[in-house]
């Protein structure tokens, strides 16, 4: 078994064959998937919950992505807090900062990020972090406003080096590797995957994005391809795929207090 710790099953890329995508994932051994609930942003904050209700083995997050921070008013943040109580919502995210696209003003991104950290603390939920071209600001806000609460989370689609991985680990986060780790020029990232503690690793697809090798030319990623990412991480760590898959599955279930699937 293996777990895809981050996928966007609600994406329009899956509208024509979503049932088949889930079936193929299960056939590949993907027993659990975490559907990310940011969607197109407020007012619809339940996209992942609908999928978690529809499919066994799918859990959900809720939250406002930094791209959509400009859409987040008090009512939508209240709704995020309310949805955290849903039984299949296990985390708040993906939240954070994105200075690469700057789809929302940076000050608003930071404000919404802080508001959602507070919501997650009150709900006792881990958070799933998105950070792009905003590492220092993200780390500073997490150090000041998240670490003191003693809760954990996931550094989603980790794309940094070993030092940045250690920073994440020191804040109590797990680091999640996506298909980028399979790319030819990702040596620095593979070194981070090699040296990070095994009990703090996760794997993900970020589907439909970041399709791993050898399927990169297919363009659309699917949860079933998390197997290829896990194979690459296992390879660089010099361990069997089965052991890596089992370890990352245990890590995911421990983070979210879930039973490990048989």
pLDDT tens column, 164-217: 999 999 999 999 999 999 999 999 999 999 999 999 999 999 999 999 999 999
Report percent pLDDT > 90 for the chain: 98
For the chain, how many structural domains are there in total? 1
Q: What is the pLDDT of residue 65?
A: 98
The pLDDT of residue 262 is above 90? no
* Cis status, amide bond into 79, omega within 30 of 0: no
For residues 201 and 47, give the distance between their C-alpha atoms in angstroms, rounded to a whole number.
Answer: 27
- 20 domain residue, yes or no: yes
Residue with tokens 């050898």: 214
* 260 band by pLDDT with thresholds 50, 70 and 90: confident
61 beta partners: 91
- 73 domain residue, yes or no: yes
CATH code where residue 73 lies: 3.20.20.140
Query: Is the C-alpha dihedral spanning 235, 29, 226, 169 positive or negative?
Result: negative
Which pLDDT tens digit goes with each residue over 6-58?
Answer: 999 999 999 999 999 999 999 999 999 999 999 999 999 999 999 999 999 99
- 154 domain residue, yes or no: yes
Q: What is the pLDDT of residue 261?
A: 77
- 236 domain residue, yes or no: yes
Q: What is the pLDDT of residue 136?
A: 98
Closest CA to 244 of 189, 196, 180, 186: 196
For residues 205 and 17, give the distance between their C-alpha atoms in angstroms, rounded to a whole number.
Answer: 17
- 261 domain residue, yes or no: no
- 260 domain residue, yes or no: no
Q: What range defines the domain where residue 95 resides?
A: 2-255
Contact 119, 84 (CB under 8 A): yes
- 145 domain residue, yes or no: yes
Mean pLDDT, the chain, rounded, equals: 97
| pTM exceeds 0.85 | yes
Q: What is the pLDDT of residue 217?
A: 92
């Amino acid at each position: 078994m293996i777990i895809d710790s981050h996928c966007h099953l609600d994406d329009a890329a899956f509208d024509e064959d979503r049932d088949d995508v889930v079936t193929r994932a299960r056939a590949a051994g993907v027993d659990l998937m975490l559907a990310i609930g940011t969607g197109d942003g407020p007012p619809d904050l339940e996209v992942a919950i609908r999928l978690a209700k529809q499919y066994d083995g799918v859990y959900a997050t809720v939250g406002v992505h930094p791209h959509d921070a400009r859409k987040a008013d008090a009512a939508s943040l209240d709704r995020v807090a309310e949805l955290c109580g849903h039984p299949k919502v296990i985390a708040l995210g993906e939240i954070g900062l994105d200075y690469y696209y700057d789809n929302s003003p940076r000050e608003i991104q930071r404000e919404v990020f802080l508001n959602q950290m507070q919501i997650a603390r009150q709900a006792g939920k881990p958070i799933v972090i998105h950070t792009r071209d905003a590492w220092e600001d993200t780390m500073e806000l997490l150090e000041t406003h998240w670490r003191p609460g003693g809760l954990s989370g996931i550094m989603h689609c980790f794309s940094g080096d070993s030092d940045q991985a250690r920073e994440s680990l020191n804040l109590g986060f797990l680091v999640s590797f996506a298909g980028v780790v399979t790319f030819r020029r990702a040596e620095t990232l593979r070194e981070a995957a090699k040296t990070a503690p095994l009990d703090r690793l996760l794997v993900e697809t970020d589907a439909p994005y970041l399709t791993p090798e050898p399927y990169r030319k297919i363009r659309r990623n699917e949860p079933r391809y998390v197997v290829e990412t896990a194979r690459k991480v296992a390879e660089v760590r010099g361990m069997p795929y089965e052991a890596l898959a089992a370890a990352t599955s245990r890590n995911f279930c421990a983070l979210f207090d879930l039973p490990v699937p048989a």
